[in-house]
Amino acid sequence: MDRRKFLKTSGLAAGGAAALATPAIAQSAPAVKWTLTSGFPKSLDTIFGGATVLAQAVSEATDGQFQIEVRATGEIVPTPGALDAVKSNTVQAAHTCSYYHFGKDPTFAIGTAIPFGLNSRQQQAWFYHGGGNELMNDFYKGYNIIGFPGGNTGAQMGGWWRKEINTVDDLKGVKFRAGGFAGAVLSRLGVVPQSIPAPDIYPALEKGTIDAAEWVGPYDDEKLGFYKVAKYYYYPGWWEGGANVHFFFNLDEWNKLPKSYQAILKTAAAMANIDMQAKYDAVNPTAIRSLVGKGVELRQFSPEILDACFKAANDTYAEITAKNEAFKKIYESLKAYRADAYLWSQITDGTYDNFMMAQQRSGVL
């Protein structure tokens, strides 16, 4: 993707990207240096790469006047510390998942994905044109941050399991690496949620410390080697139908920036947001074929399990909305949009995709 061309043609405010990128404007622009902490290791190049896409685009659009140094998780703070690092201005920015901070307030989960929430396309519509990002930023303001969508994984897989799961009873007692909202919902069905960072998932599965684990999808999961220690790969990851990564910026530092730099940051974030899912959609088909070739057994969660999880999710939402006004306000907006979005999808994408998938299964594509 040509970053400079994108920035010049994507309708930047404050005079336009084309004007901002000219040497005359760049010479009068202030020199700014920020540090960004990623919530991901460099080895996961697609999800980590969203931050480098942003940093390079911002540098190019300002002729190098605005520099953002990207640091991998653990180099400055571990993933769970990213939000507090931005809040306290230890770093000016982070690229991470909002739902990692579910423990602070379940409202954070809505910024990434909630069980049986929106798919990735619907996420973008709600964030950009349904008031979602404004609602989330009203909430983030209490933590001295401002956020913008910075990538989406698409619908995720349902994880790696050491044994088959066919009924709701099969879930009881299973130690599953799934934190946040997924863990809260699954615990209602007898699952024992485990919170384990990415580097520690493989050894935990290998030793049998956990029985199952989820991460993202085929491309990343193959890199992490989970297929070597758990052969059943389930789908769909109903807790992450369209998981959004976010850029978080310290609100005080954001307010100090010239309006032109704010516009460039927002546009670069949108560019990274598009680029990440495009790359996942490009690499996941090859990765899933590779995994199946290595003996992985794909399994779809049964309707019985999905129905039970859907009910458990709605029961969880009812409990949280009864006592958390911030969550209730944002969830009700998302829920209202979701109902209309899936009505529309049934008429358009759903019907089209179902037909085309039938052609794929019959071997005529």
Domains, the chain, ranges and CATH?
3-152+242-282 (3.40.190.170)
What is the rounded CA–CA span in Å between residue 214 and residue 205?
A: 11
Residue 291's Cβ-side half-sphere holds a number of Cα atoms within 13 Å equal to: 29
The residue type found at 328 is: K
Q: Name the 3-class secondary structure at 301.
A: coil
Q: What is the mean pLDDT of the chain?
A: 93
pLDDT in tens, 104-161: 999 999 999 999 999 999 999 999 999 999 999 999 999 999 999 999 999 999 999 9
pLDDT of residue 37: 98
Strands 66-71 and 175-177: unpaired
pLDDT of residue 179: 78
Tokens 């790359």 correspond to what residue?
279
CB distance 239 to 178 below 8 Å = yes
Rounded to two decimals, what is the model's pTM?
0.91
The separation between CA 213 and the C-alpha centre of its own chain, rounded to angstroms, equals 17
What's the longest Cα–Cα distance across the chain?
Answer: 68
Parts of the chain with a pLDDT under 50? 9, 11-24, 26
pLDDT of residue 148: 98
As beta bridge partners, residue 232 has: 161, 297
What is the rounded CA–CA span in Å between residue 220 and residue 239?
A: 18
**Helix 325-347 with 303-321: angle, nearest 10 deg:** 140
What is the rounded CA–CA span in Å between residue 213 and residue 86?
A: 29
Residue of 204, 205, 200, 211 lying closest to 229 (CA atoms): 205
CB distance 164 to 299 below 8 Å = yes
